[in-house]
A and B are shown apart, each in its own frame.
Chain A
Amino acid sequence: MVVQHDPVEVLTIGAGWAGSIVAMELAQEGRDVLSLERGAERGPDEYLLMHDELRYDLHYEFMQDLSKGTFTIRHNPQQRALPMRRYGFCLPGTGVGGAGVHWNGQTWRFLPYDFEIRSRTTELYGEDKIPDWMPLQDWGITYEELRPYYWKFEEMAGISGEAGNLVESMEGETGINAEPSFGGGGNPFEGARLHDYATPPMQQTPSLEQFMDAAAEVGYHPFICPSANLSEAYTNSDGVERDPCQYCGFCDRFGCEWGAKADATVTTIPVARDTGNYEIRTQAEVLEILYNEPANRVNGVRYIDRETGETHIQPAEVVALTAFALNNVHLLLLSGIGEPYDPATGEGVVGKNYCYQNNCAAPVGYFDDEKWNLYMGAGALLAGFDDNNGNNFDHSDLDFIHGGNTAIEQIGTRPIDHNPTPPDTPSWGEEFKNKSLEYNYSTLSFNTQGAQLPSRTNYLDLDPNYTNQHGQPLLRMTFDWTPNDQKMADFMVEKNNEVMKAMNPSQMKPAEGHDPHFDFTTYQSTHNVGGAIMGADPETSVVNSYLQHWDAENLFVPGASAFPHNSGYNPTGTVGALSFRAADGIKRYFDGAGMLE
């Protein structure tokens, strides 16, 4: 039996950051908005008894249940993809608030260079700088066009930080290639800002200061990184009041019982609900977007009520596909919307430019005479520098493009997972125990969060062999480190070892480059991006600069799936900005704009 619902004006698939931003913006306009969320309802009340490393950190209470659906993985198209049976390199979330509940809160704007990366790289270094295998693309939008939406996200979430490139007006801008102005407190390399951050920077700790002093000594320009953890109490323009971070050390993989860490359940969702125009239907897993290809439209979705097992049809005037990036691509492929990417020909677009994060170059220092309060911390308590990010340094004599933000974090060590031992210590027994206790609070490390640029053979498609609990093909991920990643890592190894030496540890485990092949088994990052990318040309992108699908004018796909490459930063700030941009696009669509320019 199929349950047929009355149409809604706006339907979002998922109620994480992207879905809730679209929902809030349209509900405030008086639109009737529904979110279908495959997981459970939750909020700060549920986060109260959460300081439990075993359950949440190591056994993934907040993450997608792999027994119901996972994805398959392989390094190249010649290999057989096999399912990720247990969690490894990334941790997709589920439930109301999505992965934005268990994030750390590290919030960045991408660099102006990122949005015009192909044009700028060509202009600066010539066509040959971009290898044939790298489908590097401009985003179809500039930093200046996206900037108001970045501010909307930052103002809503109360992002803490200090501007390093504040200009008084658009006319005062220094332009994309201008020399940064050093000597201020913030990040001199950031894109020009028209607003300072919503709240001041996070507190500095002795371990961060040790890193900042060393980085400055080497010649870099360190700063306290921007944070969604709230450095002080804050009320945003929607009237959402939140209390400040208590530095309890339980951010990543946990919810924040203080509401200090911005997440959708304490910001956008309550505001959307206050309008009276918003409903979230939980345990509602969308299996297909209903596509009317001849009309260039979607009609709504088919979903399963996970409590009853019943199939439902929910029509909608506009559908916003706002699931996790990988699930956005999966649903487009399952629904037959857009041409799937073929790595053999380079044609097709859905699944193209799947990118990740080139986390690399982590030296470890062991400090016999120091003992820091490393059990204290916050998810976005970091000091970093951007001298080696983007095009902030000359790449003329380098054999790679882009770079990454280099930062040390103090997010709170937890005892099961944190057992630092100097090189050549056994992994068990008396020496392991004694050394790991001795260095428990006397070890520091940092790394570079590198950009990860596309490759023709890094992509997403449907797996021919394995299925989810509904009998649908799993998403197949084909991914390996590219030469660009390897060379960038080697470069950062040298730079970061120099900084660690300047921190003057008693003993040091130098950073090393990547293994030849990507390791799917070790957690690295949940910054899975691309596969439904934005651009100016339907031949090479899935959505336009309003995140509107080229082949379905009432389908919008905001989220990290729209990134044509990943920058050397955490993605959420840009996901938030694109979601506000998509909401604007949907408003214009309702005004009769059709395909948006």
Chain B
Amino acid sequence: MSDDTHDSDSDRSDEKAESSWYFSRRGMLEGAGITGSLVVGGAIGYDLAALGEKRPDGEAPSPDEMLTEPTPTAEEAGAGAFGFFNLDQARTVEALAERIYPATDRGPGATEAGVVFFLDTRLQGPWGSGEKWYMEGPFRPEEAVPNQGWQYGLVPREVYTQSLTALREYVGQEYNSMFFELNNEQQRTVISALQNENIPTFGTPTSNDFFEMLRSGVLEGMFSDPAYGGNRNMVGWKLKEFPGTPGSLGSYRARIEEDQFIHLSPTALEGQNLGPDLKPTYPEEAGDGDGGTAPPDQTDSANRTDTTNRTDNTTQGGSE
């Protein structure tokens, strides 16, 4: 598919959008088929309102437009910006991530998305310590058949540390250099060697085990909610034309049968805290029968207007 085709798709969706995407809250609710028996009360009302009044922003953004706010490099951010990696490790991971998901003429890559900062945070958290992995012995990776899965006694933090050391030794021996100082072609050669397990300084977990863990982490850092520290400025979602969470708590019910692609600019969970007990509490609003909920501040949302309007269609209909 050429870029021309891509653009013409967007053009068609724009026409469609101009005529029908900016629809009223009333229209939205009708489209949603809401009957007033919502299970969860007011919070839905806010989101419907927000989505209903969300304007189309036209074409998919150009690569330049995605670069709204420059992400510092690991070197610019400095060692103090990292809680797990030392600066050499951070610069190495940053370079690995950029080769795995590079900036291209379609838009920014892993550096711009802040993937190294995402990974640094993840490695410090419960995932990094393998908190939800079964880690009782005996460990018998040597007996495992290929389809039996991870059998090492190491958790991600240990895998990263051990693997980055092995990589540093290998690059030092082969190139008398650090990985992040190699040119792009040399870096690609080293990553291929990781993937193909052609790096003698690695034992187990193998270099490909590390590569697969790293690749998954890079994609997570590119495309997870910006609240996790990657996907900065939602560059990943813009690349993928993924609308983020506005599809969430909102509705595609009125649009899903349409033939044309509908481009929506993305919205993140933004400000809505992700912690397990940090569900937002909304100020009570006059006239709200269920004593329920109103929207959190949407002050930094470029795509939402007038989210304080409520609908009375959202009172608890009560299945409980």
Partner of A51, one of B138, B247, B318: B247
The reply on B272 being an interface residue by CB < 8 A is yes
**Nearest CB of chain B from residue A2's CB, rounded to whole Å:** 26
The reply on A393 being an interface residue by CB < 8 A is no
Tell me if B132 and A369 are in contact (CB < 8 A).
no
A243-B34, A273-B320 are known contacts. Are A441 and B261 too (CB-CB below 8 A)? yes
Tell me if A371 and B253 are in contact (CB < 8 A).
no
**Residues in A neighbouring B248, C-beta threshold 8 A:** 50-51, 248, 250
Tell me if A369 and B5 are in contact (CB < 8 A).
yes
The contact string, 1 if C-beta is below 8 Å from chain B, for chain A 51-88, is 11111001110000111011001110001101111101
**Residues in A neighbouring B99, C-beta threshold 8 A:** 428-429
In the complex, identify which listed stretch (A119-127, A518-526, A577-585) lies at the interface while the others stay far away.
A518-526
The reply on B236 being an interface residue by CB < 8 A is yes
Tell me if A44 and B251 are in contact (CB < 8 A).
no
Tell me if B242 and A415 are in contact (CB < 8 A).
yes
The contact string, 1 if C-beta is below 8 Å from chain A, for chain B 236-254, is 1101111101011111110
Among B269-320, those with CB < 8 Å from A are: 269, 272, 274, 279-280, 317-320
**Residues in B neighbouring A270, C-beta threshold 8 A:** 319-320
Partner of A433, one of B37, B109, B247, B253: B109
The reply on A244 being an interface residue by CB < 8 A is yes
The reply on B228 being an interface residue by CB < 8 A is yes
The reply on A539 being an interface residue by CB < 8 A is no
The reply on A368 being an interface residue by CB < 8 A is yes
**Residues in A neighbouring B223, C-beta threshold 8 A:** 53, 415-416
Among A427-457, those with CB < 8 Å from B are: 427-430, 432-434, 437-442
Among B16-45, those with CB < 8 Å from A are: 32-35, 37-40, 43-44
A54-B228, A429-B102 are known contacts. Are A520 and B148 too (CB-CB below 8 A)? yes
Tell me if A55 and B274 are in contact (CB < 8 A).
yes
Tell me if A84 and B100 are in contact (CB < 8 A).
no
**Residues in B neighbouring A67, C-beta threshold 8 A:** 130-135
**Residues in A neighbouring B245, C-beta threshold 8 A:** 51-52
Tell me if B249 and A66 are in contact (CB < 8 A).
no
Question: In the complex, what distance in Å separates the CA atom of A240 from the CA atom of B317?
Answer: 9
In the complex, identify which listed stretch (A128-136, A199-207, A293-301, A356-364) lies at the interface while the others stay far away.
A199-207
**Residues in A neighbouring B69, C-beta threshold 8 A:** none
**Nearest CB of chain B from residue A260's CB, rounded to whole Å:** 9
The reply on A266 being an interface residue by CB < 8 A is yes
**Residues in B neighbouring A244, C-beta threshold 8 A:** 32-33, 253
The reply on A342 being an interface residue by CB < 8 A is no
The reply on B257 being an interface residue by CB < 8 A is yes
Question: B247: nearest residue on chain A (CB-CB)?
Answer: A248
Chain A contributes a number of interface residues (CB within 8 A of B) equal to: 92
Tell me if A517 and B145 are in contact (CB < 8 A).
yes
**Residues in A neighbouring B148, C-beta threshold 8 A:** 73-74, 82, 520-521
Tell me if B251 and A246 are in contact (CB < 8 A).
yes
The reply on B64 being an interface residue by CB < 8 A is no
Partner of A249, one of B140, B236, B252: B252
Question: In the complex, what distance in Å separates the CA atom of A569 from the CA atom of B149?
Answer: 27
**Residues in A neighbouring B255, C-beta threshold 8 A:** 373, 376
What number of residue pairs across chains A and B have CB atoms under 8 A from each other? Answer: 236
**Residues in A neighbouring B59, C-beta threshold 8 A:** none
The reply on A170 being an interface residue by CB < 8 A is no
A259-B319, A437-B106 are known contacts. Are A75 and B147 too (CB-CB below 8 A)? yes
**Residues in A neighbouring B272, C-beta threshold 8 A:** 49
A86-B150, A376-B247 are known contacts. Are A246 and B134 too (CB-CB below 8 A)? no
**Nearest CB of chain A from residue B120's CB, rounded to whole Å:** 15
Interface size of B as a range: 35 or more
Tell me if B37 and A241 are in contact (CB < 8 A).
yes
Tell me if B150 and A44 are in contact (CB < 8 A).
no
**Residues in B neighbouring A491, C-beta threshold 8 A:** none
**Residues in A neighbouring B240, C-beta threshold 8 A:** 415, 437, 440
**Residues in B neighbouring A245, C-beta threshold 8 A:** 253
Question: In the complex, what distance in Å separates the CA atom of A14 from the CA atom of B318?
Answer: 24
The reply on A247 being an interface residue by CB < 8 A is yes
The reply on B175 being an interface residue by CB < 8 A is no
**Residues in B neighbouring A428, C-beta threshold 8 A:** 99-101, 191, 195, 215
Question: In the complex, what distance in Å separates the CA atom of A206 from the CA atom of B9?
Answer: 15
Tell me if B38 and A376 are in contact (CB < 8 A).
no
The reply on A3 being an interface residue by CB < 8 A is no
**Residues in B neighbouring A376, C-beta threshold 8 A:** 247, 252, 255-256
Tell me if B40 and A48 are in contact (CB < 8 A).
yes
The reply on B258 being an interface residue by CB < 8 A is yes
A249-B252, A520-B147 are known contacts. Are A430 and B257 too (CB-CB below 8 A)? no
Question: B224: nearest residue on chain A (CB-CB)?
Answer: A54
Tell me if A368 and B1 are in contact (CB < 8 A).
yes
Question: In the complex, what distance in Å separates the CA atom of A171 from the CA atom of B41?
Answer: 46
The contact string, 1 if C-beta is below 8 Å from chain B, for chain A 218-246, is 00000000000000110100001111111
Tell me if A437 and B249 are in contact (CB < 8 A).
no
Partner of B251, one of A70, A75, A247, A414: A247
The reply on A466 being an interface residue by CB < 8 A is yes
Q: List 16 A-B contacts (CB under 8 A).
A: A48-B40, A49-B272, A51-B269, A67-B133, A79-B145, A80-B140, A84-B134, A242-B37, A245-B253, A270-B320, A428-B215, A433-B109, A437-B240, A439-B1, A441-B241, A465-B138
8 tightest A-B CB contacts, nearest first? A51-B248, A259-B39, A241-B37, A270-B320, A246-B251, A54-B224, A415-B223, A376-B252
11 other A-B residue contacts (CB within 8 Å) besides A82-B144, A243-B35, A273-B320: A43-B320, A49-B279, A51-B245, A53-B224, A82-B151, A88-B149, A244-B253, A248-B247, A248-B251, A373-B258, A428-B100
Please report B residues at the A interface, Cβ cutoff 8 Å: 1, 5-6, 9, 32-35, 37-40, 43-44, 99-102, 104, 106, 109, 127, 130-136, 138, 140, 143-145, 147-151, 188, 191, 195, 215, 219-220, 222-225, 228, 236-237, 239-243, 245, 247-253, 255-259, 261-262, 269, 272, 274, 279-280, 317-320
